[in-house]
Amino acid sequence: MAKKVILGMSGGVDSSVSAVILKEQGYDVTGIFMKNWDEKDDDGICTAKEDYDDVRKVADSIGIDYYTVNFEKQYWDQVFTYFLDEYKKGRTPNPDVMCNQEIKFKAFLDYALKLDADYIAMGHYARVEEKNNDFYLKRGVDNSKDQTYFLSRIGQKALSKTIFPIGDIEKSKVREIAKEHNLATALKKDSTGVCFIGERNFDKFLDKYLLSKKGDIIDIDSNKKIGTHNGIIHYTLGQRKGLGIGGVGNGKPWFVAGKNLKENIVYVAQGEEHEALFTKSMIGENPFWILEKEPVFPLKCTAKFRYRQSDIPVSVYKLDNGNLKVEYDFKVKAVTPGQVAVFYDKKYCLGSCIIKDLEPLNDKYRYLNI
């Protein structure tokens, strides 16, 4: 009897091709479209409806069952409230990581197991490897698309029940398979918006939920006001675009170097190599380990502090309060509180923590991130 797999289908090409691969491998596949957000985009279009239409077309064309499950309440309670709370603290959260942890690999998994599924599947570029009854999270073959960063808080229960059908192939091959099977999503562009919320004017979106007020933009070198910001929630460390202070100073670009939530100040530094933009270590809270057991400390490994970043050699120490201190082998730019620091041992993702505090390269900038 064929093993039963419940596949999360988003209406994108990756999950569509995952369905094709699973069926060809002999699984009994059912596609489920997760409805986690009920709102039109900036153009007045309900993207969830469009995406579900694509799921229907793909499922019909390859001959699998499909339907919708509503996780809006779980998404609001477990992901979106966290997302807003982090912005209220002046931090920059990563809702995609939390969505994977709480929705796709928890609520969705629990739902699938109630349907007597043997496995769930997702269209992520990642792999699972079992060794001695431990389940390891392994990078996808396509390094440019590897998504283990976003899966870095997924534990053993989920990994033991998860298949990533496209983890072993390149994105170009995914597109080829979609075209070969005449899938409706073959030429559909990849989504770059926030998990389930989609692509939209993000500043306008945040202003709907959070009260933001204008404040001063301060040059960290002169300590003088050089502009006005539109609300501290709209700025993140290392940000260059949208500051509205071009033409000031020596002509070099300005970057966000710090935020003072209490005083409602955004600090900026001029020049991409300004030392105020760099830190030498960080403190991480809420550590999570893929194997659900702590490594031996100090841990020498590599880390990523944002998704599109090369691995950085680090040393990780456990503090008495359970937090982690992460020391970089060389200075790193724009490490951002609220984001996720993800740890790797070559091809394997070890786990992650949430970035809490930063140690500046120069102590005189310690006041910047308050």
Q: What amino acid positions are annotated as catalytic residues? A: 99, 195
User: How far is Cα 185 from Cα 7, in angstroms, rounded to an integer?
Assistant: 16
Q: Are 90 and 336 in contact (CB under 8 A)?
A: no
CA 150 to each of CA 7, 82, 167, 170: distance values in angstroms, whole numbers, following the listed order: 18, 16, 14, 18
- Bridge partner list, 312: 303
DSSP 302-363: EEESSSS---EEEEEEE-TTS-EEEEEEEEEE---TTSEEEEEETTEEEEEEEEEEEEESSG
DSSP 47-60: HHHHHHHHHHHHHH
Residue with tokens 């926030």: 194
**Contacting residues for 163 by C-beta, under 8 A, at least 6 apart:** 5, 22, 119, 120, 121, 128
**Contacting residues for 144 by C-beta, under 8 A, at least 6 apart:** 171
Tokens of 183: 């899938």
**Contacting residues for 262 by C-beta, under 8 A, at least 6 apart:** 370
